[in-house]
Structure 1
Amino acid sequence: MHHLRMLPRCVWLRRAMLLWQAGTLPHDFTAANAAYFDEQADHVETEHPHWPAMAEKVVTKMRTDWPELFDPARTRALDFACGIGLISQNLHPHVQSVVGVDISQRSVERYNALARSLELAPEKMRAEHLELTGAPGELGGALFDLIVAAPDARRLFPDALAAVVPQAHGIAEDALRAAFVGAGLGAFELRDAVSERMPQYFGEDGPPIVWFVARGVKPLDG
């Protein structure tokens, strides 16, 4: 079973900046994340207009570097932390099916509305409101050939946030490799996907943000 991982650090950007300005950080990151994206789900296009293009670039990078992972006749994909469906929207033409999961109810509602607008049956593209814990029977015990998660960046937050945001400066390759190994994934690869400036967050002279794609392979008997 193949796994393509892009860890979801980017989702902390706007929320972490707001929390830093307020001088507080919640202890329950899961609840705070869900609440934030329930509120943000209806404002993605206006507050984060670059996200759709970024999703397209990331999926293109995956397909270009690892075309063998994408088979429209048989690849079953899971879009972890799927949000409103930006990754799945670009992924679904290249896989048999894609299932999204997210802890934000409103994001899941928008994801499924997007699938309907694309005239896709639930068997082709659907999302479920769920926090995956690894418990047996989740998602009906479904197995997947490909798992993707939201994009990440090597360098993400200004120094002022280092004390309050987990992984404030992105994720170092050694740390990411160790996380993959700890999860039982082998054949680790890390490749840069897109490098661009984000003046809406860091100003016109801000540092470039490097978005990457990391891949790991789960043995069939693992």
Structure 2
Amino acid sequence: MRPRSSEQSISANKNYFDSRGITQKHDEQHLHNEMAKRIGKALLNIYSFDDEHTTMLDFACGTGLNSRFLAPYVKSIIGVDISQEMVDRYNKRVENQGISQEEMRAICVPEELLDTSIDQESDNRLKKLLGDVEFDVAICCMSYHHFPSISSATRLLSSLLRPGGYLYVADVESISKADHTGQSITDLEPIFPDGACDAGVVMHQYGFSEVQIKDSFVNAGLAGLDAETGQISRFTYDVATRAFKNGKAVNIFIAGGMKPPL
């Protein structure tokens, strides 16, 4: 299979999730609902949400499973996704519940604003689209494996936080064959199905290691490295829950980082 460009990968994801069948299935699957609850409960234990002050960004929000769980604990939520079908379903649920758009809404973002070659001008366009809000907390749940570059995605999310704001990423932790055989080998086992990878929908089929995520947070300014001690500050990494993915038992991690205060 020929490697895809960032633009091609983003388009593949958009086309895939714009399918009505995929959108409805995503909302109705027990696994997705259960995972949103488990991740939501873990986030409540990690971050001090305030229903009178906390502004939250739900990045790659899908149909809003994570947003709906956390909605009672925040002042406002803006969801962002490249799939219009997902965004429409998100907003329809909000409307049906009688929640105002000022409190909770989703926005469909043009593909070009999420390309890995994103520049400062694109950053500013995205900020304008979001109403120039600087968020207290941004979450991205079970979506990092879809992004061509997690370094670019993390840097973009950092740019949308207020000074002192937090980013939390939940996704699948990579597993080695040694976890199953006991042998000391470094090969990783694919976690996501080959078909989705061939379609360009899943970019990181092996999940992520703590080192990979930590490096992306450091490069985005959401974690600091002490030159003398070599210790990382403003960064947390914990296993939030476990799940079965395509017959494999996997860990679901939550990584967190803080943008430096002024």
TM-score greater than 0.5 by the shorter chain: yes
Is 1:135 the counterpart of 2:123 in the alignment?
A: yes
Contact (CA 8 Å) 2:76, 2:103: kept in 1 or not? yes
Q: Percent identity?
A: 31
Give the whole-Å Cα distance in 2 for the aligned partners of 1:159 and 1:78: 26
Q: Which residue of 1 aligns with 2:222?
A: 185
Q: Deviations over 1:13-69 (max 9, x none)?
A: xxxxxxxxxx677540100001111111122245x3310111011010010133x2x
Question: Where do 5+ consecutive residues of structure 2 fail to align?
Answer: 115-121, 143-170, 176-189, 224-233
Is 1:64 the counterpart of 2:45 in the alignment?
A: yes
Kindly tell me: are residues 159 and 64 of structure 1, through their superposed partners in 2, closer, same or farther at Cα, counting changes over 3 Å? closer
Contact (CA 8 Å) 2:67, 2:77: kept in 1 or not? yes
Kindly tell me: are residues 60 and 158 of structure 1, through their superposed partners in 2, closer, same or farther at Cα, counting changes over 3 Å? closer
Kindly tell me: are residues 175 and 118 of structure 1, through their superposed partners in 2, closer, same or farther at Cα, counting changes over 3 Å? same
Pair member with larger Rg: 2
Question: Where do 5+ consecutive residues of structure 1 fail to align?
Answer: 1-22
Count of paired positions? 189
Please show how residues 91-170 of structure 1 align to structure 2 within 5 Å. 91-131=70-110, 132-133=113-114, 135-136=123-124, 137-151=128-142, 152-155=171-174, 157-158=190-191, 161=194, 166-170=203-207
Kindly tell me: are residues 142 and 158 of structure 1, through their superposed partners in 2, closer, same or farther at Cα, counting changes over 3 Å? closer
Give the whole-Å Cα distance in 1 for the aligned partners of 2:27 and 2:138: 25
Give the whole-Å Cα distance in 1 for the aligned partners of 2:139 and 2:191: 27
Kindly tell me: are residues 142 and 160 of structure 1, through their superposed partners in 2, closer, same or farther at Cα, counting changes over 3 Å? closer
Q: CA RMSD in A?
A: 2.2
Contact (CA 8 Å) 1:83, 1:102: kept in 2 or not? yes
Amino acid at match of 1:153: V
Give the whole-Å Cα distance in 2 for the aligned partners of 1:181 and 1:76: 23
Q: Deviations over 1:63-100 (max 9, x none)?
A: 0133x2x0001000000000000000001100000000
Give the whole-Å Cα distance in 1 for the aligned partners of 2:25 and 2:192: 27
Task: Select between 188-197 and 128-137 the one with higher mean Cα deviation.
Answer: 128-137
Give the whole-Å Cα distance in 2 for the aligned partners of 1:82 and 1:149: 7
Kindly tell me: are residues 118 and 24 of structure 1, through their superposed partners in 2, closer, same or farther at Cα, counting changes over 3 Å? farther
Q: Deviations over 1:155-206 (max 9, x none)?
A: 3834985x965332111111111100111102111111111224xxx2xxx3
**TM-score under structure 1 length normalisation:** 0.77
Q: Which residue of 1 aligns with 2:32?
A: 51
Kindly tell me: are residues 118 and 77 of structure 1, through their superposed partners in 2, closer, same or farther at Cα, counting changes over 3 Å? same
Q: Which residue of 2 aligns with 1:207?
A: 248
Q: Which has the higher contact order (CA 8 A, sep 6+)?
A: 1
Q: Which residue of 2 aligns with 1:16?
A: none
State the SS of the aligned residue for 1:50. Answer: helix
Give the whole-Å Cα distance in 1 for the aligned partners of 2:98 and 2:261: 34
Give the whole-Å Cα distance in 1 for the aligned partners of 2:193 and 2:63: 30
